[in-house]
Structure 1
C-alpha cells in the first residue's frame, strides 16, 4: 500500500480513500498498525480541526434519527459532516449489525456527508478503540463537524467525552426525574441535554422532562470550563426538525466561549495526554497474552479455578512476577 498516496487522497477529501484509511487504522494486524502510524504522521502537518461532537443516549431514544436530521441541517448551512457510529458487538459471535448507515438514508446520499459505522469489539465506554484515530482522519479530510454516536449503554458511558469538544446526551420524554438527573456518571459530563421526540402527544411530557433536567443541572457542581447557563437542557424533535436551530446556537455559543477562554486548546491537550496513557495501558495488557507471562497467568488461573489459592493472592503474585520480569 502506498501510504503517501493514500494520505494525499485523504487530504483531498476523497471519501473512498477516507473509508480505506479508517479500515487501516481499525485493523489489529501488526503491519497495518505500523502503516496506520505512518499515515497519521503524514496527515498531522495539515493541522485541520473539526468540531467534535459526541452523542449518546439509551437505545431507542432516536440517536440515528436525530443525527440524520441534525446532519442535514448542518449541510444546509454549508458544512461538511462526518458521522462515526459505533455499534455494539455480540458477546457470543463478535459480529455487529452496522445498520446506522441504512437508517440515515437521506444523509448517506449527500456528497458533503460521510457515514462510517464501526463495531465496538467489546471495547468499554461506548466507543471503538480506534474511534479517536478515525476522528483525526475525518478532520484531515476537511470535514467541519464530526459526530461520534456511541453504543448507548447507560450511565457509565463516558469515554466519548475524552475525544470530543462537546458532549450531547439525548433523553426520551419521561426519561427520568430530578433524582435521575443528579446521578453521577454520564450526567456530569454532558454539555447539553436534548430531550428528543418533543412532538405530537409526547410534547407536553417532553416539556416536563426538560424542566426536570434543567432543575437537576442547577444542582450539579459548577465546572470551570462552562459559561453561565451551561450545561443546559433543550427540547428537539428529529421528526419535525423543531429545536435544531436552538440546539446548534447553544453548541456554537459554548464552543466560541471555550475557544475565547482557552479551554478548547487546554482540553484537547489533556485528551491527547489521556489517549497516550490509554495506549500504554492497552499495550501492557496485550503483553499478558504472550510468551512466558501468558504461561504463568495460565498456571495461576488454574490454581484459582481449583481453589488452591485465592484470586487476590494470585493476582498479587502475578503482579510481582511481572515486576520481576521488567526489572
Structure 2
C-alpha cells in the first residue's frame, strides 16, 4: 500500500480513498495498524478543522431520520458533511447490520455528504474504537462538519463527548417516566436537547416534554464553557424538517461563543490528553493479552475466583503483583 499516494488522494477529497483509509484504521492487524499510523502522521501535517457534533438518543427516537434531514440542510448551505454512524454489535456473533446508508438514502446520494457505518464491536461509550481516527481522516478530506451518530446506549455516552465539540441529545415526546430515567450524567454532558417527532398528534406532547427538559436543565449548575441560556431544549421534527434551522443556529452560536472565549481550543487540548491516556491503557491491555504467561496467570486466577477459592480483590492484587504494579 502506497501511504503517500493514499494521503494525497484523501487530501483532494477522493471518497474511495477515504473509505479505504477508514477501513485501514479500523483493522486490528498489526501491519495495518502500522500503516494506519503512518497515514495519520502524514495527514497531521495539514490538519482540518471541522466542527464535530455528537448525536445520541435512545433507540427509535429517530436519530437516522434526523441525521438525514439535518445533513441535507447543512449540505444545502454549502457545507461538506461526513456522517460516522456507529451500529451496535451483537454480543453473541459480534456482527452488525450497518444499514445506515439504506436508512439515509437521500443523504447518501448527496455529493457533499459521506456516510460511513462502523460496528461498535466491544467498544463502550456509544462509539467504535477507531471513530476518533476516522474523524481525523474526514477532516483531512475537506469535510467541515462531522456528525457522529452513536449507538444510543444511554448513560455510557461518555466517549463521544470526548471527541466532539458539541454533544446533542435527541429525545422523544411523551416519554412519561423518561425524564426521571434520563440519568444526570448524560444530561450534564448535553449541549442541546432536541425533542424529536414534534409533528401531528405528538406536537402538544413534544412541547410539554420540551418544557420539562428545559426546567430540568435550569436546575443543573451552569458550566464554564456555556454562555447564558445553555444548555437548552428545542422541539424539532426530522420528518417534516421543522425546527432544524433553529437547532443549527443554536449550535453555531454556541460553537462561536466557545471559540471567542477560548473554551473551544481548551476543550480540544483536554480531549487530546484524554485520548493519549486512553491509548496507553489500551496498549498495556493489548500487551497483557499478548503475553502467554500472563494470559495463563489470568486464566488460573479467574478459575480460582469462579470456584470461590479466592476473592476478586485478592486475585486482582496477585495479578498486579505479577505485573510488577502496586495494587
- TM interval, short-chain normalised: over 0.9
> Residue 320 in 1 paired to residue 321 in 2?
yes
TM-score scaled by length of structure 2: 0.97
> Residue 252 in 1 paired to residue 252 in 2?
yes
> Residue 296 in 1 paired to residue 297 in 2?
yes
Query: Which residue of structure 2 lines up, in the alignment, with residue 261 of structure 1?
Result: 261
Query: Which residue of structure 2 lines up, in the alignment, with residue 204 of structure 1?
Result: 204
1-structure distance, mates of 2:170, 2:287: 38
Q: Deviation at 1:320?
A: 1.1
Q: Which runs of 5+ in 1 are unaligned?
A: none
Q: Which runs of 5+ in 2 are unaligned?
A: none
Query: Which residue of structure 1 lines up, in the alignment, with residue 17 of structure 2?
Result: 17
Deviations 1:207-260 (A, max 9, x none): 000000001000001100000000000010011111011000000000000000
2-structure distance, mates of 1:235, 1:170: 10
Q: Deviation at 1:321?
A: 1.0
Query: Which residue of structure 2 lines up, in the alignment, with residue 97 of structure 1?
Result: 97
Distance 1:178 1:5, change over 3 A: closer
Query: 1:1-327, aligned counterparts within 5 Å?
Result: 1-176=1-176, 180=180, 183-289=183-289, 290-323=291-324
2-structure distance, mates of 1:114, 1:176: 36
Moved more, 134-143 or 280-289: 280-289
TM-score scaled by length of structure 1: 0.97
Residue 117 of structure 1: SS of its match in structure 2? Answer: strand
Distance 1:181 1:291, change over 3 A: closer
Cα pair 2:124 2:156 within 8 Å, conserved: no
Residue 218 of structure 1: SS of its match in structure 2? Answer: helix
Q: CA RMSD in A?
A: 1.4
**Number of residue equivalences:** 325
2-structure distance, mates of 1:202, 1:6: 49
2-structure distance, mates of 1:128, 1:74: 24
